[in-house]
Amino acid sequence: MNIDKLKCDEVKNLEDIQGIGTTSEHAGRNPKDQEKVSCLQTHYKDKSNNKQEYNELKEMIKKYFVSSQNDSNLYKAFCLCCKAKVKGKKISTPSFSNFRNDTAERDSFYKCLEEKGFYKKK
């Protein structure tokens, strides 16, 4: 199942989003990765090619949205913003051609969440 097939009105938690499938990224492969959000990333492979846990959305919640972590509307907003980025901008420049379609600009993702009523708290 693709992220664009999710029914966001039925999403209640992070597992409802990431349960459709997960992805891993490779550490140190692309310096622009810090500027991206991967909705399905739950692991990465370190430089020795060992699988390490890292859930990008979970980390985002812990850092900015901890007060809303029990609010199902936060996960609906995550779902809508993940879907919006899949339907919207595809990165087409050659240097970014290896990014999956579940990756979006981090600032755009935060802006989408803000538009849905969730503000990034510093």
Q: Is residue 63 within 8 Å of 106, Cβ to Cβ?
A: no
- In sign, the C-alpha dihedral spanning 74, 80, 84, 87 is positive
19-70: pLDDT as tens digits = 866 555 555 555 556 667 888 888 878 888 888 888 889 999 999 999 999 9
Q: Where are the domains of the chain?
A: 3-115
Structure tokens at 104: 């979006």
Its pTM surpasses 0.95: no
Spatial CB neighbours of 40, under 8 Å, sequence gap ≥ 6: 3, 17, 18, 20, 21, 22, 23, 102
- In sign, the C-alpha dihedral spanning 45, 93, 105, 14 is negative
